[in-house]
């Protein structure tokens, strides 16, 4: 299986099953350093430990991201998703309403960073015990 196809499969699986710790383990095993998820498009840029990257295009419709970023709404959306109250698509819509343009998951630091359109850090969380 091609590397990019394998990564697409991992991302699809975590969106459906929400087993993020298993997903993180598999990313580490495949030498992934971090990835960037773009909320508006659903596209993902994956960066390896050797600084090469793989771009994954999404086939879902665009989501309008609010111009103003809200740290409070970002934290609430993350908490709702990671406690199982919302599925992945709803999580993305709530983050868009909170003004989140992208999030970055750093596999080595085990952290997730939420950024606004104007590159303001809205929220940081530990992946193992989010928000």
CATH architecture designation of domain 3-126? 2-Layer Sandwich (3.30)
Helix (H) or strand (E) holding 53: strand 53-56
Q: What pLDDT is recorded for position 91? A: 94
Q: What pLDDT is recorded for position 18? A: 64
Q: What pLDDT is recorded for position 11? A: 77
User: Distance from CA of residue 72 to its chain's centroid?
Assistant: 18
Give the integer Cα–Cα distance in Å for 98 and 70.
5
Give me the residue spans of the domains in the chain.
3-126
Q: Could you report the per-residue pLDDT of 36-75, keeping only the tens digit for each?
A: 999 999 999 999 999 999 999 988 899 999 999 999 999 9
């Amino acid at each position: 299986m091609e590397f990019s196809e394998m990564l697409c499969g991992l991302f699809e699986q975590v969106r459906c099953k929400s087993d993020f710790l298993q997903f993180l383990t598999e990313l580490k095993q495949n030498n992934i350093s971090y990835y960037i998820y773009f909320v508006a498009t659903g596209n993902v840029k994956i960066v390896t430990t050797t600084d090469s990257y793989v771009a994954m295009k999404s086939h879902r419709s665009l989501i309008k991201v609010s111009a103003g970023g809200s740290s409070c709404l970002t934290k609430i959306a993350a908490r709702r998703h990671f406690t199982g109250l919302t599925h992945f698509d709803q999580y993305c819509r709530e983050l868009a309403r909170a003004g989140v343009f992208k999030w970055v998951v750093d596999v080595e630091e085990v952290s997730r960073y939420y950024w606004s359109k104007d590159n303001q850090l809205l929220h940081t969380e530990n992946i193992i015990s989010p928000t």
